[in-house]
């Protein structure tokens, strides 16, 4: 159209070309401003398993002082999260399911933010750095509990520090309305003139140490998956569990932090 306007000297064509070029310039400027001063953060859970869906929270912050941002799409690890409007100085968040393959220590490097604003004539993109480290645990695979130490089927020989109803007396305290009547210490209550109750520990199985290399898997990866299954199962059964990984032995414990430590050892084994 520009060449036609020059060749014919048609003022109307000059006006049309000028308006189109001006429209493109304004569109480009608005689109560029729409993607400026944005910050993306991603929150991952502390338990991520190989090839299994996990929920993540994506937050986008508009750091502009005067203008909102429209029609944003955040692309992370093959999934898109859309935000129709992020007001100036505000933070919007949404959940997304992500799948990570391969165990070990990983890094979520960057996110791509794109938008067709203002007229879907061009789609503009920006790559924003994330640098989010995380650990992918082996995917638990059901297997028999072999290769450990301790009595596999023994119950009631040990007690955890958690409150329960089948263990030893851990403490004596004042009665509350939510306490079962069977836990009232009648002799002590009669002596002190007020109701006292017994705090009972929960029963726990004998400690278990899982020897990863002696598990019945056909490969190292299957052994690690089997060990992850046994670790989670032992904690659900209130059984202290430890690991023997190569020459290293991690002593049994019952805390959640200990379970995550065991799963981390399984995740990074052989990758360092």
Distance CA 182, CA 195 (A): 12
pLDDT at residue 106 is higher than 80: yes
Give the range among 57-61, 81-85, 185-189 with minimum mean pLDDT: 185-189
Nearest to 118 by CA among 35, 21, 17: 35
Residue 230 has pLDDT above 80, yes or no: yes
**Per-residue confidence (pLDDT) for residue 239, from 0 to 100:** 87
**Distance between CA atoms of residues 200 and 177, nearest Å:** 17
In the predicted structure, residue 266 carries a pLDDT above the cut 80: yes
Q: What is the pLDDT of residue 84?
A: 94
What is the average per-residue pLDDT within 218-222?
A: 90
Which segment, 175-189, 199-213, 217-231, is predicted with the most confidence on average? 217-231
The residue ranking higher by pLDDT, 158 or 128, is 128
Is the pLDDT assigned to residue 189 strictly greater than 50? yes
| Tokens at 263, concatenated | 């799963």
Locate all alpha helices (DSSP H) within 103-197, ordered by sequence: 186-192
pLDDT beyond 50 at 262: yes
Among candidate residues 238, 272, 248, 243, the one with its CA nearest the CA of residue 260: 243
Neighbours of 231 (CB within 10 A): 25
* Amino acid 152: pLDDT: 39
Q: What is the mean pLDDT of residues 158-180?
A: 59
What's residue 87's pLDDT? 95
Instruction: Please tell me the predicted confidence (pLDDT) of residue 27.
Output: 84
Q: How many CA atoms lie within 13 A of 64 on its CB side?
A: 17
Residue 150 pLDDT class (50, 70, 90 cuts): very low
Residue 176 has pLDDT above 80, yes or no: no
Is the predicted pLDDT of residue 161 greater than 50, yes or no? Answer: no
Q: How confident is the model at residue 153 (pLDDT cuts 50, 70, 90)?
A: very low
- In the prediction, which pLDDT does 170 show? 66
pLDDT tens string 12-44: 777 777 778 888 888 888 889 999 999 999 999
> Is the model more confident about 28 or about 1?
28
């Amino acid at each position: 159209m520009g060449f036609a306007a020059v060749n014919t000297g048609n003022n109307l064509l000059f006006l049309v070309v000028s308006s189109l070029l001006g429209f493109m310039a304004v569109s480009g400027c608005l689109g560029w401003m729409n993607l400026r001063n944005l910050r993306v953060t991603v929150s991952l859970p502390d338990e991520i398993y190989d090839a299994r869906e996990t929920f993540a929270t994506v937050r986008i912050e508009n750091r502009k002082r005067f203008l909102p941002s429209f029609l944003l799409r955040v692309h992370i690890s093959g999934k898109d999260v859309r935000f129709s409007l992020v007001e100036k100085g505000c933070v919007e968040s949404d959940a997304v399911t992500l799948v990570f393959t391969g165990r070990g220590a990983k890094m979520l490097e960057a996110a791509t933010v794109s938008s067709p604003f203002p007229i879907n004539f061009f789609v503009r993109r920006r790559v924003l750095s994330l640098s989010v480290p995380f650990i992918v645990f082996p995917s638990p695979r059901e297997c028999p509990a072999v290769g450990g130490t301790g009595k596999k089927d023994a119950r009631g020989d040990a007690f955890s520090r958690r409150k329960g109803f089948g263990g030893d007396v851990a403490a004596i305290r004042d009665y509350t309305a939510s306490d079962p009547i069977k836990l009232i210490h009648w002799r002590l209550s009669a002596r002190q003139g007020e109701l006292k109750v017994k705090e009972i520990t929960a029963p726990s199985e004998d400690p278990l140490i899982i020897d990863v290399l002696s598990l019945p898997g056909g490969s190292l990866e299957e052994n690690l998956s089997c060990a992850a299954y046994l670790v989670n199962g032992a904690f659900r059964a209130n059984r202290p569990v430890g690991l023997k990984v190569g020459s290293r032995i991690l002593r049994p414990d019952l805390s959640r932090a200990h379970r995550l430590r065991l799963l981390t050892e399984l995740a990074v084994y052989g990758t360092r």
